Structure 1
Amino acid sequence: MELTLLGTGAPSGLPLPDCPCARCARAVGDEARAATAVLVDGTLLLDLTPGPALAAARAGQSLSGVRQVLLSHPHDGPALEVPAGLPAPVRVPDRQELALISGHRVLALALDAPGTGYLVTGPDGERLLYLPPGAGPAGEGGAHGEQTPVCDMVLMDVLGRPDALARLRAAGIVTATTDVLAVHLGHEAHGGAPGPELHRRLATAGARAEPDGTTLTVGEYHAVPDIPRRTLVLGGARSGKSVEAERRLAAFPGVVYVATGGTREGDPDWGARVAEHRERRPASWSTEETCDLVPLLSADGPPLLIDCLSLWLTHAMDEVEAWDDTLWAREGAGRLAERVAALVAAVRRTRRRVVAVSNEVGAGVVPATPAGRRFRDELGRLNAAFAAECEQVVLTVAGVARPLR
């Protein structure tokens, strides 16, 4: 199957008319996007973008061969512009299949949000899954209770519904070879800034975006974005490092969130911080409150999100009595070095996907106390040793993530 992206944006497109925000200001050239619409083999049109005939012409295509127009948006979705000569748009009822004279088969999928999803099977058996904005499949099934098969390509709202992508992966519908394309890209905050930041965010989810007018072949090999197995996210206080780490695993199923901070009785501020983190996590994630990281890293299992190494180090330094100068000099330093070495070795050997968070405190301010300087130095050494075992290291500043490796 050959498909042409007549549009890749949200229903209102990007940029919005007369909007002064920074996202709209940067949405120029290839980053400007009309409402999402897809032309399949010149004969099937999925959704409509404003000025579809002109959009097709700009892509070197024609709508003259279109025999079927299918709608995916909710019934109260955006107003439609139907050019003369196109067949009247229709919506296939959930779990019903439509056979086209061109040899394509279209199965309508029930969704967990208003609208209709379509599984398109080409004449040669290639499979394309197309989902409307803000939606994911309702459960794992297709028609008649059968599980939806592995798809060659998926077009969906990746940034708005990373949890839906996680569920598709858990069900085996999206595999390591599935080409995942982000569409319905819009003005909302979850869309990220147009340009390099958008593509960086998508790559962390194993997805990509293409400009309006791009023509693709379903099933043709395309280098799937390389997702690092081990990532360290560094940053200062309130820099966005935890949000960045969570975002990197939001599109993967069964994540284990490892909270190293524990609970602190009688500290309402700490309780509020913990609650804020919990509210951001997907409901499908599980939580382990522990500083015993080596067994988790040594066992096989789903991805780990460790937040954070600085609290792990605080716990470790408490246990070796590192705050007492005499005990530190006598044996504390050696005992801490052994614990750090064991953690680093476990990271080196782990088979799991790991995203770890740590504070960056070595920016030049020298603490006034020996204990403060000791913690700063040991955290710097821990960060460096942990980073050496990671394929990717990221620094977050003012909510902006920048890869260091």
Structure 2
Amino acid sequence: MSLALVLGGTRSGKSGYAEALITRHHASGDPPGADGRDRWVYLATAEALDDEMAERVARHQASRGGGWITRECPHALTEAIAALAPGTPVLVDSLGMWVSNRLLAGADLATERAALVGALRASRAHLVLVSDEVGFGIVPDNALARRFRDALGELNQAVAAIADEVVLMVAGLPLKVKG
């Protein structure tokens, strides 16, 4: 198992960098799936609830190219990670969307965080997780946004603690924080 966490702000280059980590480190020269192993797996947490978000999702999918199997898991991320085969190269994009989805669903975020971290620890897949760094901004002016910021910050800390590698993206440039 390996676990990398890629953090950054909006449009910092997180997803592209994370995709390159997967494809660069898990390319055998054969097309994904040619050796009988699973292809690169993209666990997508976004829900396209409006036209603008649907367009964003479509752009993300088009930029990835072939070789990826996308599994939608806006709520069941923990279960999706627990079901991964050993050695599978997996990109999770993003923890921020997942926290938002679970928060709006009224979930117990501390319990959800513990379950997700447990699944990450138990997984034998090669995982790269993307998340928003929320600690650089101002204190939000409403309670829901503050709950989101706090929950994601706590999840980022928990994942970073068990990660082999942590990278902070700034203006498209990777800054290695751990590993």
TM-score by length of 2: 0.86
Distance 1:295 1:364, change over 3 A: closer
Shift of 1:282: 3.1
SS in 1 for 2:67: coil
Letter in 2 for 1:340: R
Residue of structure 1 equivalent to 2:94: 308
Aligned length: 163
Residue among 273, 289, 298 paired with 2:72: 289
RMSD: 1.5
SS in 1 for 2:162: coil
Alignment of 1:64-79 (within 5 A): none
Letter in 1 for 2:41: V
Residue of structure 2 equivalent to 1:392: 165
Cα distance in 2, alignment partners of residues 363 and 284 from structure 1: 35
SS in 2 for 1:357: strand
SS in 2 for 1:363: coil
CA displacement, residues 22-74 of structure 1 (integer Å, 9 cap, x when unaligned)? xxxxxxxxxxxxxxxxxxxxxxxxxxxxxxxxxxxxxxxxxxxxxxxxxxxxx
Cα distance in 2, alignment partners of residues 394 and 366 from structure 1: 24
The answer (yes or no) to whether the contact 1:309–1:357 under 8 Å persists in 2 is: yes
Cα distance in 1, alignment partners of residues 171 and 123 from structure 2: 31
Residue of structure 1 equivalent to 2:9: 236
Larger Rg: 1 or 2?
Answer: 1
Q: Report the structure, 1 or 2, having the larger helix content.
A: 2
Residue of structure 2 equivalent to 1:368: 141
Cα distance in 2, alignment partners of residues 305 and 354 from structure 1: 6
The answer (yes or no) to whether the contact 2:109–2:151 under 8 Å persists in 1 is: no
The answer (yes or no) to whether the contact 2:89–2:126 under 8 Å persists in 1 is: yes
Question: What are structure 1's unaligned runs of at least 5 residues?
Answer: 1-227, 321-331
Alignment of 1:4-403 (within 5 A): 229-251=2-24, 252=26, 253=32, 254-264=39-49, 267-290=50-73, 291-299=75-83, 300-301=85-86, 302-320=88-106, 335-403=108-176
Structure 1 outlier segments of 4+, above 3 Å: none
The answer (yes or no) to whether the contact 1:232–1:355 under 8 Å persists in 2 is: yes
Aligned sequence identity (%): 42
Shift of 1:296: 2.5
Cα distance in 1, alignment partners of residues 4 and 133 from structure 2: 15
SS in 2 for 1:277: helix
SS in 1 for 2:112: helix
Shift of 1:268: 2.5
SS in 2 for 1:404: strand
